[in-house]
Amino acid sequence: MSEEEKLRTDARANRDRILDVAREALAADENASMNSIAKLAGVGAGTLYRHFPSREALALGVYRKEIDALVQLSGTVLLDKPPLPAFRLWCDRLIQLGRVKQGIATSLHSAMSTKDFDETLAAMVGAVGRLMQACESVGDIRQGINPADVLVMLSSLWRLPPTHEGQAQTRRVLDLIFRAVEAKSA
Amino acid sequence: MSEEEKLRTDARANRDRILDVAREALAADENASMNSIAKLAGVGAGTLYRHFPSREALALGVYRKEIDALVQLSGTVLLDKPPLPAFRLWCDRLIQLGRVKQGIATSLHSAMSTKDFDETLAAMVGAVGRLMQACESVGDIRQGINPADVLVMLSSLWRLPPTHEGQAQTRRVLDLIFRAVEAKSA
DNA sequence: ACCTGAACACCGTTCAAGT
DNA sequence: ACCTGAACACCGTTCAAGT
């Protein structure tokens, strides 16, 4: 918050507008060019790069709110449902988000493979960890499983096509993943 | 074989040279440009595109031999080892190949998401299926698991970095995957 | 302090002209 | 039948010049 307040009002407006058009542009075409996004936002290319020094930074900026919401959800689902169904529901939402915004997949993956280990990813791992902890406490999943490992397996799912078969496969693989972590065999 | 024989001798020589330099170039830099590969091969850009109409086609051409070898291996490992260790060894090899040649990952994924369902991928799924069948027949893994589903989970692994932690994570996730398919819990 | 937009060095891909 | 390589329409990124 303090960082964002420091921006001059015109800079702030530009930043917001860039984020708005980038959200649309990237949804329509996952690899819309940086130049085209700058043009759509009505700013010079340099301004785009000032705010978001790379394509990945831009994608992260765009989806930060969605990611934050997902992290929040990891707490609230636990109020409504037993841990395991809550975890499963959260995974469905994650996959849904990842599928729609393919950009996240790449960002998560490359963030995961660099050691700066972006705070966004850390929050995500934290969310998975919280859900797993809840499941562990009622004995639904085994102890000592690394949340980041589960996230890696989940990340393979949002590359599947949104076709009928793709969705069916997503469910099957998700079942397999849950079988890997569950305490008892079905 | 019949397809390859039809090529004029100079065309054939060009094709082979392109494949050779592309193998090196892509190993050194996974997104070496098409133009640079053509230049390295000493051919015009048009020639490169005649033989391999897309980057993906080129990657597939380069790694076809490795993939074929891996498919073959799915038969031979079963002669040396019990099914489950054979399967596990084969998975290690697959991950190793995928890690080194990141291009394959993309190819597999996008091939998987189009319905032309490339024969290379089909062969790969067939190899996984053969190994799983052998494991099923001795009761080591459950019946009715889709080999393509297992391949999807495996594909998440070759994006992990080749660092120490990356390799450790690979082992952990692979353990989880095997737990998902195994007949009995450890 | 921030923005613009021309400019640089590329990129994938095509296609007339050659042999 | 196959090849060449200039050309096209882009691309990401930078940086002088502006306000």
Chain B residues contacting A, CB < 8 Å? 109, 112-113, 145-146, 148-150, 152-153, 155-157, 159-161, 166, 169, 172-173, 176-177, 179-181, 184-185
Confidence at residue B4, expressed as pLDDT on a 0 to 100 scale? 57
The closest nt to B10, taking CA to C1', is D2
Residues of A in contact with B177 (CB under 8 A): 153, 176, 180
Determine if strand C comes within 7 Å of the CB of A6. yes
In strand C, the nucleotides that come within 7 Å of a protein beta carbon are 1-7, 10-16
Q: Using CA atoms, how far apart are residues B173 and B162, in angstroms rounded to an integer? A: 14
Distance B50 CA to C15 C1' (A): 12
Q: How many CB atoms lie within 10 A of CB B170?
A: 22
Report the residue from B146, B176, B181 with minimal CB separation from A149: B176
Confidence at residue A156, expressed as pLDDT on a 0 to 100 scale? 87
Confidence at residue A161, expressed as pLDDT on a 0 to 100 scale? 78
* Averaged pLDDT score across all residues of chain B: 86
pTM for the model: 0.84
- pLDDT over 90, % of chain B: 60
Report the residue from A145, A156, A161 with minimal CB separation from B156: A156
Q: How many CB atoms lie within 10 A of CB A175?
A: 15
Confidence at residue B115, expressed as pLDDT on a 0 to 100 scale? 41
Amino acid at B100: V
Q: Using CA atoms, how far apart are residues B51 and B71, in angstroms rounded to an integer? A: 24
Cβ–Cβ of A146/B172 closer than 8 Å?
yes
Determine if strand D comes within 7 Å of the CB of B46. yes
Confidence at residue B185, expressed as pLDDT on a 0 to 100 scale? 52
Residue A66's SS3 state is helix
Determine if strand C comes within 7 Å of the CB of A75. no
Question: pLDDT digit of tens for each residue in chain A (186 aa)?
Answer: 445 567 789 999 999 999 999 999 988 888 899 999 999 999 999 999 999 998 888 988 888 878 889 999 999 999 999 999 999 999 999 998 876 665 555 544 554 444 444 677 788 899 999 999 999 999 999 999 999 999 999 988 887 878 898 899 999 999 999 999 998 754
* H helix or E strand, kind and range, residue A139: none
Instruction: Give the residue among B141, B124, B126 at the shortest CA–CA distance from B88.
Output: B141
Tell me the CA end-to-end span of chain A in Å, nearest whole number.
47
* H helix or E strand, kind and range, residue A124: helix A119-137
Residue B182's SS3 state is strand
Residues of B in contact with A161 (CB under 8 A): 113
- Give B112's contacts (C-beta < 8 A, 6+ positions apart): A160, B121, B148, B151, B152
Determine if strand C comes within 7 Å of the CB of A53. no
Cβ–Cβ of A159/B185 closer than 8 Å?
no
Distance B2 CA to C15 C1' (A): 29
Q: What is the mean pLDDT of residues B157-177?
A: 90
- Roughly what angle, to the nearest 10 degrees, separates helices A83-100 and A164-181? 140
Determine if strand D comes within 7 Å of the CB of A28. no
DSSP letter for B158, please.
G
Report the residue from A155, A159, A169 with minimal CB separation from B149: A169
- Give A186's contacts (C-beta < 8 A, 6+ positions apart): A179
